Amino acid sequence: MENLDVMVLRTLRDWRLAGRRALLTTVVRTWGSSPRPIGSIMALAEDGAVVGSVSGGCIEDDLIARYSRAHGPSGEMPSGPPALVKYGITADEAHRFGLPCGGTLELLLEYDPDAASLAALVEQLEQGRLMQRSVSLADGAVRLAEASAPAELVVNDRELVNTFGPEYRMLLIGAGQLAEYLSTMAKFSGFAVTLCDPRAEYRTAWSTPGVAISTEMPDDAVLAFKPDRRSCVVALTHDPKLDDLALLEALQTEAFYVGAIGSRRNAQARRERMMEHFDQTEASLARLRGPIGIYIGSKTPPEIAVSVMAEILAVKNNVTLPRETEVAVAKAAAAG
């Protein structure tokens, strides 16, 4: 699965370019518990087709019934400026719409968003740009501007400003079973995945669709990939000739995660090798992760992939992870 926001905007663009009426729904405020965070988007076509989500499903059902012909002629999509609507204001409504206890959310509904503006936004996102989309609440007029940094959604009496980032990206060094599991998990987590392996014999069995393939040497692939703050680089070959130079190149970028598979002993040997032969220091290698993955006692490729993907997502989401030794101590203490 691709990045959800990009998928919603791309689908909505296609609907509007084809002349289909549609609305764009954005979560703009929440009170108490909420099933989806502020900034989440969903698109609804006039025939009831939906992409994206603003709740666990019940609010989507209500929007479909109100603004589409999916369940008969009663639903009607209005025209005009954007509208703000609230769900879950009373306990009965929260229960009816499947919201958590005490949860309330407010949505902005944009009727028939401009197709040309959507096309321009999607084009910029596909080119790897971070974009700010401002919507006038008075008339629905949209302004697009390139953003310098990610930002939370802002809404006031005049406008809504939402920042959309390009897809998160993952560069995998080394084909194989682990890479196939990890790339599959990355794709359904919203990452665009590129696999690099110059070894033809390892690529012949590759079967994961939707993954870009690079046959360059890994350090050249890192340079071509141009990792940014929404990128991660993961080395899986166990071959220093392939992994080390790629990791060194990746450490010079803004990639939010750079790591390599291997045991604790191999990870330490890699660090010593890099300091001895490539003039690295403890400080320059501080961002290098290894062994990678959250400790779950995994031994098989799919479990190792779960472990690695969990750590990547935790780092992406700014979650502080305990060290493996701390986990072991905690387990021992609990058992004692």
| 201: CB partners within 8 A, 6+ apart | none
Q: What is the pLDDT of residue 210?
A: 87
Give the chain's count of helices (H) and strands (E).
Answer: 11, 15
Q: What is the pLDDT of residue 148?
A: 85
Strand order in the sheet with 142-146: 142-146, 131-136, 159-164, 154-155
Q: What is the pTM of this model?
A: 0.69
Mean pLDDT of the chain: 88
Q: Mean per-residue pLDDT for 64-73?
A: 79
Place of tokens 């900034």: 39
End-to-end CA distance of the chain: 44
Do the beta carbons of residue 40 and residue 7 sit within 8 Å? no
DSSP letter string, 160-222: EEEEEPPPEEEEEES-SHHHHHHHHHHHHTTEEEEEE---HHHHTT---TT-EEE-S-HHHHH
- pLDDT tens sequence across 265-282: 999 999 999 999 999 999
- pLDDT tens sequence across 211-269: 999 999 999 999 999 998 889 999 999 999 999 999 999 999 999 999 999 999 999 99
Q: Cα separation of 165 and 91, whole Å?
A: 35
Q: Cα separation of 126 and 192, whole Å?
A: 11
Q: Cα separation of 132 and 153, whole Å?
A: 10
